[in-house]
Amino acid sequence: MFILLLIGAVITSYWVWFRPEPVLPDAFVGPPRSDYELGQFDMQVFDDNGKLSYYVEAPRLSRDAQRESFTIDRPRVRLYDQREQNWLITAKSGYIDVKADRIDFDQNVVMQRDSNVDPMRFKSDQITAFHKEGRVETATPIEIKARGATLTGTGLKANLNDKTYVIEKDFHATMPPARSR
């Protein structure tokens, strides 16, 4: 009986000490490795007629080969509306898809119109710009400052060319009073 126990102990200790290490799957699943990156760059994008559509400058751009898209850190993007007024958009990150017909901005997104005459500013946590059509959209809370008024709500569709907007939910605005007597 004792011999059987001894044999069992030898086998299990051999198994514990000498069995091959199990091959664990690669735990790290991060963003696909970019096939190239740019540092401290600026990029001008032209439309089909060769007109400047938008201008990007950022500290870093990484290219995703599989999705043929770009991820940009801390982008500063200038969009140009039909009346050549330009809008500066900044955010923590930006994403340009393969068709390059939209730019998704994420976190601390601020979009302001460069205009001393009638400044406008949009603030949200996410904004998508469809620059070819001059449209911007978000499903998240938004704040707009325009003409002395402050408009807030959730969900926005705005057209930068004709300056129309739709706020889809929870609209609230404050406006300065009429001229004092």
The residues that touch another protein, with contacts defined as CB under 8 A, are: 118, 120, 144, 146-149, 151, 153, 158, 162-180
CB 103 within 8 A of CB 94: yes
List beta partners, residue 95: 71, 104
CB 131 within 8 A of CB 103: yes
Q: Minimum distance from CB of 120 to another protein (Å)? A: 6
Q: Minimum distance from CB of 129 to another protein (Å)? A: 16
CA dist list (Å): 88 to 6, 96, 154: 79, 16, 22
Pick 14 or 171: Cβ nearer another protein: 171
Q: Minimum distance from CB of 105 to another protein (Å)? A: 19
Pick 81 or 97: Cβ nearer another protein: 81
Give the residue from 46, 38, 122, 47 showing the smallest Cα distance to 73: 38
Pick 47 or 118: Cβ nearer another protein: 118
Q: Minimum distance from CB of 87 to another protein (Å)? A: 12
List beta partners, residue 57: 42, 76
Q: Which amino acid, one-letter code, is at 28?
A: F
Pick 51 or 147: Cβ nearer another protein: 147
Give the residue from 23, 28, 104 showing the smallest Cα distance to 70: 104
List beta partners, residue 52: 46
Pick 67 or 172: Cβ nearer another protein: 172
Q: Minimum distance from CB of 118 to another protein (Å)? A: 7
